[in-house]
Each structure stands twice: as C-alpha cells, then as structure tokens.
Amino acid sequence: MILAPIPTNNIPAFMLDPTPVEYRISVSCLKEEMSNNQQTFICLTDYAMTSQRTALKNRISELDNLCDNWDMYDAIAPSKEVIKNAYRLLDKVINDGYVAINAEDIAPTPYGSIVMDFANERGLVSVEIGKAEIGFFTEFVDGNDSASDGIETDFRSIPDSLKKAFDILYDEQRSISA
C-alpha cells in the first residue's frame, strides 16, 4: 500500500472539517502487459476517507431519503427541518466534546423525529430531535436518571438540562474522537 498526500481540491468541503480524522487510502493496481515486453501499471486510487463525524452525517443523510410509510406501518418520514436540526445538534455535540455515538445509534422514529443514543459504561442519554423541540431521557448505571420532553431550542446550543445529562454520562471528562 502506498500512502500519499491527498489533493484537497477534489474533496467535498464537509470532509475537510478541522477535527482529527483518520484517512484510509487504498490503491488498486491493474497490471497491463505491453507488446514490447514492458509492463505498465494503471493505478486507480480509491480515497476511502473515514471519520466518525462523516459517518454520522452520512447516517443522517440516509434518513433524509426516507418516505412516509418507511416501516410499512404508516411511519412519518423526518422532515427537512428535522434533518437540519439533527445536523445542527450533531455538530454542537461533537464540537462540545460529547462523542460516544455510532452511526447505528441514529434512528428515525415513526413520528417523524430522529433519535440519537449516546452511551458508554456509565449509561445512556437518548435524545429525540423534532422540528422545534428536543426531548431526552437517561438510563445511568447509578440510577440517577432524568428526562425532559419538548424543550424548545434552535438546535445551535444544547439545553442546560441535556448538557447536565451529558456531563454525567461523560463524567465531565471530554475527549474528541470524531
């Protein structure tokens, strides 16, 4: 495998965010025989860039493609506003250092909202994102749980009660791995 600098002029802007990112670059080579006994290798470069932030944003993008009745039981697809709010909250959560989420921990609800489950050895904070409100509940190992329904927010900041829940989950020690 050959590692080389990646030219940034052909990479989408969302992949160039300033957070630490792991890049996985694979190079596939096809051998082609030439008639004059020389060999030429045609290299096709596959920039398979992976980062947690990109994977999470891709998951939200997938939810944007859902249609009503996506579960065959009359579920409502997340609206463009809910999708936009999910992106905003995700950016805020990651920028504030709260991570512990995988792409599979982001899911649609049948009501048109999106749920993000943040979990680690201390417990769970499950956040539901709607058009103008956010709700959450916690399941902490120590049993000191809380919940909140329908907090109005602009999704550019984390409501104080949710921030307190994240602080308990992360024990006020934040490490960014996105």
Domain positions in the chain? 9-50, 52-169
pLDDT in tens, 129-166: 999 999 999 999 999 999 998 899 988 889 999 999 99
CA–CA dist 158, 178 (Å, integer): 18
Does the pLDDT value for residue 45 go beyond 90? no
* Residue 106: strand pairing partners: 116
**How far is residue 13 from each of residues 18, 54, 123, measured CA to CA in Å?**
11, 11, 34
pLDDT in tens, 75-113: 999 999 999 999 999 999 888 888 778 999 999 999 999
Q: What is the mean pLDDT of residues 8-25?
A: 44
pLDDT of residue 25: 37
Does the pLDDT value for residue 24 go beyond 80? no
pTM score: 0.69
SS (HEC) of 94-127:
HHCCCCCCCHHHEEECCECCEEEEEEECCEEEEE
